[in-house]
Amino acid sequence: MYHVKPMSIEDLEFAVQITDTMDWGMIKEDFEFMMHLEPEGCFTLFSNSERIGIATTISFGKIGWFGNFIVNEAHRGKGAGSLLVKHSIKYLTARNVETIGLYAYMDKIPFYERLGFRYDSDFMVLSGKGLSSPIKTGFREVKEKEIKTIIEFDHSCFGASRKKILKPILLKKNNLCYASFEDGQLTGYAAVKVYKGMADLGPLICKYGRSDMAIAILKTVLNRLKGFEISLCAPKKESELLDFLTKSGFHERFRVARMFYGSSLIRDCIYVAESLERG
C-alpha cells in the first residue's frame, strides 16, 4: 500500500540515492535546506515500509512551487506518483496557496495535465563557463542594506514575496548578487549560488523589454565567475538573452515546461529561474 510521510533526517540518504539515478547531483545539504525552508512540505513516498519516492514543496504566500519529484521506476504507472503529487497539492492549498508552479520534463506534460496543471511556457536549462568580456559600468554588487529592495522588486515580478529563499541566498558568503539602478530605482538584478568551482545563476529579473540590461548584468556576473561551470534555466522566448549565451559558449542540456495549477500570477518581465525546484 502506498502512503506519504513528511521527509525526515532518516530519509536523506535515500533522497540522495534516488536523485542520483537521474544525475541531479544533489547532496544531503540540499534536502536539509529545503526542509529548513518548508519543514512540513517535503515528503517521502512509501510502499508499505519501503521508501520509493520523494517530493519537495515551498510556499510563498499565495504562490507555491513543487519540485524534486521522483518515484522508483518499478512503481511508476501504478498511481504512486499521482498520490504524491496530490498529497503535495493538498499540503500547499491548505496553506492558502492559490497557484502552484513546477518545471516539468517535456515528456511528463500529459501526466501533470491529468492532475490539473496547465502548460505555460518552455524554459531551457543551459550550461557554460564564466568568461572575460567587455562590460558596461553601472552594475554593482548589492549591499546588505539593499536586500529589502531586491526582495520587493522580485515580488513585483514573481507575484509573491520570496524573502525566505532570497534572503539566505543573498546573505550567504561567496554568493553573488549584482543589480542595476537608474535614477535611484532598481531596474534589474541577478543572484548566483556559488559552490566549489560551480555556480547556479538565478534568479535574474529585469523589467520587460530590457534585454540589453539583462545581458549587461549577465556579462558582469560571467566576468566574476571566470572559469566556473555555470548552469541556469532561462525562458525560450527570450531570444536575445539566449543568443548572447549561445555566443558565449553556453549549450542547452535539456528543456522543461513551466506549468501552473491555478491561475498564473507571474508578471511580464525577463525572468531566469532561481532553481527548478523552487521557481
User: Which of 3.40.630.30, 3.30.470.20, 1.10.10.60, 3.40.50.170 would CATH assign to domain 2-97?
Assistant: 3.40.630.30
- Please report the pLDDT score of residue 272 as a whole number: 97
**pLDDT, tens digit (0-9, with 9 covering 90-100), for 146-187:** 999 999 999 999 999 999 999 999 999 999 999 998 888 899
Lowest-pLDDT range, 7-21, 42-56, 123-137, 172-186? 123-137
200 pLDDT tier (thresholds 50, 70, 90): very high
pLDDT above 90 for 67? yes
How far out from the chain centre does Cα 248 lie? Answer: 23
Report the alpha-carbon distance of residue 165 to residue 129 in Å, rounded.
Answer: 25
Report the alpha-carbon distance of residue 85 to residue 89 in Å, rounded.
Answer: 6
The residues, any chain, with a CB within 8 Å of residue 109's CB and separated by 6 or more, are 119, 257, 259
Report the alpha-carbon distance of residue 44 to residue 260 in Å, rounded.
Answer: 23
pLDDT above 70 for 10? yes
Report the alpha-carbon distance of residue 54 to residue 50 in Å, rounded.
Answer: 12
Return mean pLDDT, the chain. 95
**pLDDT, tens digit (0-9, with 9 covering 90-100), for 213-222:** 999 999 999 9
**pLDDT, tens digit (0-9, with 9 covering 90-100), for 101-131:** 999 999 999 999 999 999 999 999 999 999 8
Query: Could you tell me which CATH number the domain at 126-272 has?
Result: 3.40.630.30
- Please report the pLDDT score of residue 136 as a whole number: 64
CB 213 within 8 A of CB 206: yes
73-79: average pLDDT: 94
pLDDT above 70 for 137? no
Query: Which amino acid appears at position 165 of this protein?
Result: I
Cell of 147: 536586500
CB 230 within 8 A of CB 127: yes
**Domain span(s) for CATH 3.40.630.30 in the chain:** 2-97, 126-272
The residues, any chain, with a CB within 8 Å of residue 180's CB and separated by 6 or more, are 138, 139, 186, 187, 188, 189, 206, 213, 216, 217
What spatial distance separates the first Cα and last Cα of the chain, rounded to whole Å?
32
**Of 218, 242, 243, 228, nearest to 135 (Cα)?**
218
- Please report the pLDDT score of residue 216 as a whole number: 93
How far out from the chain centre does Cα 56 lie? Answer: 12
Q: At what angle do helices 147-158 and 163-171 cross, to 10 degrees?
A: 140
Cell of 166: 532570497
Instruction: Determine how β-strand 229-235 pairs with β-strand 198-207.
Output: parallel
27-41: average pLDDT: 97
